[in-house]
Amino acid sequence: MEKNNMGNYSLQDLALSGVKWELTDAACAYQETKTAAVPNAEKKRNQEKETAGAKPAHPAQSPKTPGFATPAAPVVSISDALESARNAAAAATDFAALCAAVESADHPLKAFAKTIPPHAGAAARIAIVTDAPSGDDDQSGKILSGAAGELLDKMLSAIGLGRDSVAIIPLVFWRPAGGRTPSREELDLARPYVLRALDLARPETVLTLGTLAAVEIADAKLPAQHGEIFRVSDIGPDVPVVPIFHPNYLLLKPDAKKPVWEVLQKILQMPNESLE
């Protein structure tokens, strides 16, 4: 070919020379292609804006790198979370340290409620395991507040005890939203701290208040097994566990105060080895 002016070449001549073209001889083809590319270019710019603030997972890589996928946030399994709770609870050497561990615990309920730590008297003869904190507890920051707490104080006073001589431990340390029953996961993640609180309190007897505490601690059912004595391996065979009605139930059913009174009298008047 002798032609020096490239403008004189036809597309067919260039194709024969080995040059590949995606355009046709039609004058409107380029305009149509260019117009169709505009939305794609705009979409690409929007995607780049969305990812502009993303931090690369590795200095040498970027989410824009072909074949590179931004890793998802690490997921902590329930087993790992439970192991962490066990280690934190076991590391607490006294109630103050345990309360601090509860305060810093990684628990799903913490995002929605105030932390209600366990209460411990100076020399707790009786440890009380109760339900999740109530709305009154969430406001006051203390377990068993409000009308239920006032009734409990009267019950203790009637047998010569007060809060300074008992430990009070909730099954979970944060009130579930709306006062719902804690989930299985929420109960399990709090249990190491509950058991450690019982271990540190070293009570002669453990009372569980209400249906949920009876099931979780003694695997007992109320009202059928109210006042019965249970031995729980997690607490120790020498410590009797006695399920009784919750003060809230007594407020609704005053007739139930009598069997509770009888159980409290039996606990105080009989040595541990004779409770059964």
Distance CA 186, CA 111 (A): 13
pLDDT at 146: 95
Name 235's Cβ contacts closer than 8 Å, sequence gap at least 6.
195, 198, 206, 217, 241
pLDDT at 193: 98
pLDDT at 38: 45
Check if the beta carbon of residue 218 is closer than 8 Å to that of residue 224: no
β-pairing verdict for 126-130 and 205-209 = parallel
Name 175's Cβ contacts closer than 8 Å, sequence gap at least 6.
109, 112, 113, 114, 116, 132, 133, 134, 135, 137, 138
Residues of the chain with pLDDT under 50: 1-11, 13-38, 55-65, 68, 70-74, 272-276
pLDDT at 121: 79
pTM: 0.71
Q: What is the CA radius of gyration of the chain?
A: 35
pLDDT at 169: 97
pLDDT at 230: 96
pLDDT at 6: 46
Domains assigned to the chain: 78-274 (3.40.470.10)
